[in-house]
Amino acid sequence: MTSTAPIGVFDSGLGGISVARQIARDMPNEHVLYFGDSANAPYGTKTPEQVRDLSFAIVEHFVKQGVKAVVIACNTATSAAVNDLREAYEIPIIGMEPALKIACDRGDVPSDPHHIPQRVIVAATPLTLRERKFAKLMDRFDSNNEIYKEPCPDLVEIVESGRLGDHDLVMRTLHGYFDQYDLDRIDSVVLGCTHFVFYRDYFRELLPERAAIIDGNEGTVRHLGVVLESLGKLAPEDAVGRVDLANSDPSERIAALSRELLES
């Protein structure tokens, strides 16, 4: 059994386009309805209640459009709303969390029976790093790794304002957040916000070669595939997928920026 119904993917703004792009690459038969809430971005400096209300409104709209699943392409909205959304709706709701497990698992190497403690910086929004969901995730790993939480709200603003191409501004901002660390000792940086995935090349420039840059996009899309397959709801193999972009900010600036990021 297959389903040609679309998949709803949303974020506070443009960051989740990095996830929609990953779906288009890895599941090319699927039809994605992307909704960016740029009129209300950023979510990362709001209260959990505000983010929950905004997330419910978006999912309600997706359900009316007949989606077969929702991907919360936003770590912040996942922290604030995923449990309540799963209780309220029957369709699968796929959430995202900073890929800390992947970073810490790098300390388990076949040639060594002992875990090699990993030094990991988690870059995310202030709300993601403050929420209980992240505290629980950190509890699983911080006894045998060194984990540093780094809230980076300005990186969201830079994407939303279309200044991602401003090399000097971006590097200055990254140095402002990360110069406090001895980066030569860091094993990996986790990009725990979907906006930050667009900064991968800049992080590469900032970090020594030995440090890995890890995001959760591929894992999320793999998980989406497994869930849809288990329900017999993958799109048929002869379907031609596409991504339809919508945004609560109706300006042509946001529409153009969204297309540019999807094609990047």
Q: Does 3 show up as a binding residue in the annotation? A: no
Q: Per CB under 6 A, which of residues 5..24 are in contact with ligand DGL?
A: 11-13, 15
Establish if 43 lies at the interface with ligand DGL (CB under 6 A).
yes
For position 156 contacting ligand DGL by CB under 6 A, the verdict is yes
Residues 92-121 binding ligand DGL (CB under 6 A) are none
**Residue 74 is a catalytic residue:** yes
Rounded Cα–Cα distance for residues 188 and 178 (Å)? 13
Among 22, 38, 55, 75, the residue binding ligand DGL under the rule CB under 6 A is 75
Question: Total residues contacting ligand DGL (rule CB under 6 A)?
Answer: 17
Cα(242)–Cα(161) distance, integer angstroms: 26
Rounded to whole angstroms, the Cα distance separating 155 from 71 reads: 22
Q: Which tokens in the block code for residue 154?
A: 């300005």
152 is catalytic: no
What one-character DSSP code corresponds to residue 44? T
- Using DSSP's 3-state secondary structure scheme, residue 148 falls into strand
Question: Rule CB under 6 A: is residue 76 a binding residue for ligand DGL?
Answer: yes
Tell me the CA distances in angstroms from 200 to 151, 166, 223, one per residue in order: 17, 14, 22
Q: How far is the CB of 135 from ligand DGL (least distance, A)?
A: 16
Q: Which stretch binds ligand DGL (CB under 6 A): 42-50, 163-171, 182-190, 206-214?
A: 42-50
List 22, 125, 145, 173, residue binding ligand DGL (CB under 6 A): 125
Q: Distance (Å, rounded) from C-alpha 108 to C-alpha 238?
A: 41
Work out how close the CB of 128 gets to ligand DGL at its nearest, in angstroms, rounded to a whole number: 5
CB 56 within 8 A of CB 171: no
* Nearest residue to 73 via CA among 48, 89, 94, 42: 94
When asked if residue 193 is in the footprint of ligand DGL (CB under 6 A), the reply is yes
Closest to ligand DGL by CB, 41 or 164:
41
d(CA 21, CA 27): 10
> Nearest to ligand DGL by Cβ — which residue?
44
Q: Using CA atoms, how far apart are residues 258 and 247, in angstroms rounded to an integer? A: 9
All residues at 6 or more sequence positions from 179 whose CB lies less than 8 Å from its CB, including other chains: none
| Residues with a known catalytic role | 74, 193
- Numbered residues of the known binding site for substrate: 11-12, 43-44, 75-76, 194-195
Binding site for ligand DGL (CB under 6 A): 11-13, 15, 41-44, 74-76, 125, 128, 156, 193-195
